[in-house]
Amino acid sequence: MSDIALRKFFGFDESDLTSNRHGRLSKKQEQTIRSAESGANRVFVFAGVVFISLALGSTFGILKAARDAGVTFTSVSDLVGPLIGLALIWGLLGFLAIGSFQLAKSKLDASVQKVEGEVHFVKVEKQVANSAPNAQKYRTVQQYELRVDRIAFHDVNEELLNIISEGDTYVFYYTKDTKKILSCEFIAKGK
């Protein structure tokens, strides 16, 4: 175990650790989290705009196709087919757009949490969607979890097993919603 290796692995310095000990984010950590959140918000807003654009384009396409087919829109029966199509499209794409905009304006709780205890590494297998076209739908991947007391940090880089000894006692400071490890410190050697 090396303090320098831990600091490099998790990307924190003494000022970060001092702030985290007091239950606060450091200025650098606040800026990093704000920047990541801002990028995610832009993606969700963009997705919402794309969904609305698709709905508008579909509306234009349906109305143009109906007009080209000779639909005159003079009677209620002429409107039923296009209106059902538009209702379905706007219902689905509107739902997706509203969801995207709500995600864009939601805020994650980045308050600093603390857990202290013996470190345990657990190798877990997970089923993940397979993106290969002619492969099975899901594939099994092996990942490591870092467990301290009742808190599990998922998908831990295997390199951490060479830095922290299992059974040693550490304090980890992390964000509440994302469980992103902000900093940590060695407390005692394991038995």
**Residue 2 has what pLDDT?**
65
The CA distance from 48 to 52, in Å, is 6
Check whether residue 19 and residue 54 sit in a common domain: no
Using 70 as the pLDDT threshold, list the residues of the chain that sit under it: 1-2
The CA distance from 12 to 159, in Å, is 17
CB neighbours of residue 47 within 10 Å? 17
Check whether residue 158 and residue 132 sit in a common domain: yes
User: Could you tell me how many residues make up the chain?
Assistant: 191
Choose one of 105, 124, 140: the last residue of a domain: 105
In a domain, 62, yes or no: yes
Query: How far from chain centre, in Å, is Cα 143?
Result: 18
Check whether residue 73 and residue 120 sit in a common domain: no
Overall domain count for the chain: 2
Entry pTM? 0.70
The CATH number that applies at residue 144 is 2.40.50
**Residue 1 has what pLDDT?**
53
**Residue 7 has what pLDDT?**
93
In a domain, 29, yes or no: no
Range of the domain at 156: 3-23+110-188
